[in-house]
Amino acid sequence: MIPTTSTEPLQLDYDAYSLGNSLLIHADCFEWMSRISECSLHAIVTDPPYGVKEYDFDQLEKRSNGKGGIWRIPPSFDGHTRAPLPRFTALNEKERVTLRRFFVEWAKLAVRVLRPGGHVFIASNAFLSQMVFGALVEGGLEFRGEIIRLVRTLRGGDRPKNAEKEFIDVSSMPRGCYEPWGLLRKPLPTGMKVSDCLRRFQTGGLRRRASGLPFEDVIESERTPQAERRIAHHPSLKPQSFLRRIVQAALPLGEGTIFDPFMGSGSTVAACEAMKLRGIGTERFADYFAIARKAVSRLAALSVRESTQPGLF
């Protein structure tokens, strides 16, 4: 049986905060996803802890003490102080196995809670995407491609460490200029066509832009603007301009519920609110949950680049 689309039964017994169409829940997503009714959600849009452990409580403590751990302080080559970034390349073999297992188990739960045909948009990075997407497929999701978010990051492009002068014409790896987002889907029931899936579950396809053009898989993006960072102080805050395009595409008929299991400061839910869609987020770290409670309505109220406004999509 497919549950109704009201968010109320999804709160269960967790501390939660509702605003507009949306609901923020202070919960571990693994636990919450195993407890709610099956097939409750239409889409997932999320930015998970890529290195799995960078959001463990001990690592967050090291980050706030400036003590490192998996968080590294980028070099200050132009007089500006930069925020710590997680070191994905620092994962050893054992941690990679753990990471894979994390995403296999998570995908099984995503298959449980999504309606058939429900899409998953999941942020990744160029080091780990092949492993993460493979694990998601192993967990039961169908790979449907990638969204390339064009954005210049600070990673990569450096000369070999401690031999910079010797190998002046060499970079260890390319300068990062994009962020890959996995696009996956809960498989449609055998023999079911997309049109049938849309009729029965309101899922299966992607919403076109208001112009009638299809959603495209390369999106010119930007680093998260300062105005958004001032509202939501989270190390992995994603920009509203990008997220609003993603959430708009995620519900093919413009109806249903979008879930962000790793909500952080609530940027995905804010994008849903801005686009007049229903969003639900879970966050297990109390400090980030508290930030999200305050930030979502303020992020949603921001006007961003014209092309991301609801009527102009």
Binding site residues, ligand SAM, CB under 6 A: 28-30, 47, 49, 55, 234, 236-238, 261-262, 264-265, 267, 282-285, 288
Nearest-angstrom CA–CA distance, 273 and 22 = 7
Rounded least distance, CB 193 to ligand SAM, Å: 34
Beta strand segments in 155-268, E: 178-185, 218-220, 257-260
Q: Three-state SS for 95?
A: helix
Nearer to ligand SAM, 85 or 137 (CB): 85
Task: Give me the amino acid identity at 195.
Answer: S
Rounded least distance, CB 238 to ligand SAM, Å: 5
The answer to whether 299 and 239 have CB atoms below 8 angstroms apart is no
Nearer to ligand SAM, 47 or 146 (CB): 47
Nearer to ligand SAM, 100 or 234 (CB): 234
Closest residue to ligand SAM in the complex (CB): 264
Rounded least distance, CB 300 to ligand SAM, Å: 13
Rounded least distance, CB 216 to ligand SAM, Å: 22
Nearer to ligand SAM, 244 or 284 (CB): 284
Nearer to ligand SAM, 45 or 197 (CB): 45
Rounded least distance, CB 118 to ligand SAM, Å: 19
Q: Nearest CA to 42 among 202, 194, 198, 195? A: 202
CB burial of 204-219 (b: ≥16 within 10 Å; e: otherwise) equals bbbbeeeeeeebeeeb
Burial class (CB in 10 A: 0-12, 13-18, 19+), 165: exposed
